[in-house]
Homo-oligomer: A and B are copies of this chain.
Amino acid sequence: MAVTEDKKYVVGVDVGGQTSKIGVVDMMGNVLHQSVIRSDIYGDDADAFISALADAVALCIKAADKEGQVRGVGVGAPNGNYYTGEVGFAPNLEWAAKKSVPFAKMLSERLGGLPVSLTNDANAAAVGEMTYGVAKGMKNFIMITLGTGVGSGIVIDGKVVYGSDGFAGELGHTIAVRHNGRLCGCGRAGCLEAYCSAIGVARTAREWLDMSNEPSLLRDLDKITSKDVYEAAKNGDALSIRVFDYTGEILGRSLADFIEFSAPEAIVLFGGLARSREFLEKPVLDAMNENVLKLWRGKVKLLFSSLKESDAAILGASALAWDL
């Protein structure tokens, strides 16, 4: 994080399926100015989207009054590859769903050569957590992002693990349930993501409602979201509380295996579902400690991201740019 000359600011960009967020960030992790653009109105025209994004980045830097003082741009994007700077075959990004787009190169060109670093969204979150969040100063931890899907960013010896091809850390697609596992979006069965994502939680609730006549606050709802399950649990709904117990147990068992891989100091949970901490923390921790080798029992911390929700994704992406 050596900062030379007068380039004391970075830009973080969080690319999502519907919107992309942009922020100018200082060395303390303060977001000085931020803006949002749509990501879903460009069809499959990657060039049009990236041009619009470059304009928005330039405007954001101008609005923060930091022209000429920005060191680089860090981007977190689904399926983003740190090594190649490409975004490819990302089902939720129409302009990169069926091809691989040299995103970092294109964005840099449209910003007059400003350096651009890119990684996937979960790795960006891990970098953000290590730079500004609960993992500050930690050298070995695993970030699990519990959102629509389950992502992960693995940090070993202070560095994000990218592996031989830049795609390491697909822990959401390790197999959590081998016996009659649920079908996952990736086409296989039993993936962690099929159980411990927001969609997985809603699916568990729906399955359990269909399987019994147990009264539940969720029965009246047409479509159940993980937020509904959380609200119902807060209102004492027994079935909803058990859904979190079940989700937490599956997650905790998988975390035990992850610990055996890299012996992290902590696991950090991040993303929408991590906000259900009051219902998830105990079952996750219990299952993790029950299933891990004795050596690590009670020793690995379970942390919940403390980054301000609206800034988290931007901060994570921006942290990448300090190394540019």
Contact = CB atoms under 8 A, between A and B. Distances in A.
Interface of A: 139-140, 154, 156-157, 159, 161-171, 173-175, 177-179, 186-188, 253, 256-258, 260-265, 291, 293-296, 299
Contacts of A139: 164
3 tightest A-B CB contacts, nearest first: A163-B263, A168-B263, A179-B179
A262 B178 contact: no
Q: How many copies does the complex hold?
A: 2
A139 B165 CA distance: 11
Contact of A168 (B179, B262, B299): B262
Interface of chain A, helix or strand or loop or mixed? Answer: loop
A162 B253 contact: no
A175 B299 CA distance: 19
A261 B264 contact: no
Given A168-B263, A262-B161, A262-B168, A257 B291 contact: no
Given A159-B157, A163-B156, A175 B291 contact: yes
Contacts of A256: 175
B258 A261 contact: yes
Contact of A140 (B154, B164, B253): B164
Given A171-B261, A178-B178, 7 more contacts: A156-B163, A163-B264, A164-B264, A175-B253, A179-B179, A186-B294, A261-B262
Contact of A263 (B156, B167, B175, B260): B167
Contact of A260 (B159, B164, B174, B294): B174
A179 B175 CA distance: 13
